Structure 1
């Protein structure tokens, strides 16, 4: 677990680790992912995931990656901090 939640931890899917515009999202989600030959595949069960991504569910219906995390535990902590900052709910996936 990380003691401090810095921008590198929270926003590592964004250039320069900048905080996104929260009004673009309606919720946060956590999803398991794998990397196959440089291509990331989401929707992976926890027992097969290589890493976890915290996504923002976009107002238009899609999802945008906010932060990649090396463990489910870290992804939950990151999502909790992002929820606190953004006032967005965390949806189960």
Structure 2
């Protein structure tokens, strides 16, 4: 892909908005205190975003104020991934038909 094509693709993807490829996970940690959250809910929630870069899995802690936004960006990526898969299947059908 030429440099111009890459820039064009980047511009198109930026219009879609921010998205995140990876996974969002919430775990529950006990703080060691005798608090109601630890007793009743199994611990305090801690949310992480995991992704791969250069063959390594990286983990980023997500502050509670950004969890919903992170999940929204991840959902956008999943939607984009489904669209790409649909286009791939359509393209393969065209190739098989010789169009």
Would the TM-score normalized by the shorter structure come out above 0.5? Answer: no
Higher relative contact order (CA 8 A, sep 6+): 1
Q: TM-score, with normalisation over the residues of structure 1?
A: 0.31
**Structure of higher CA gyration radius:** 2
If each structure's strand is expressed as a fraction of its own residues, which one has the higher value? Answer: 1
Q: TM-score, with normalisation over the residues of structure 2?
A: 0.30
If each structure's helix is expressed as a fraction of its own residues, which one has the higher value? Answer: 2
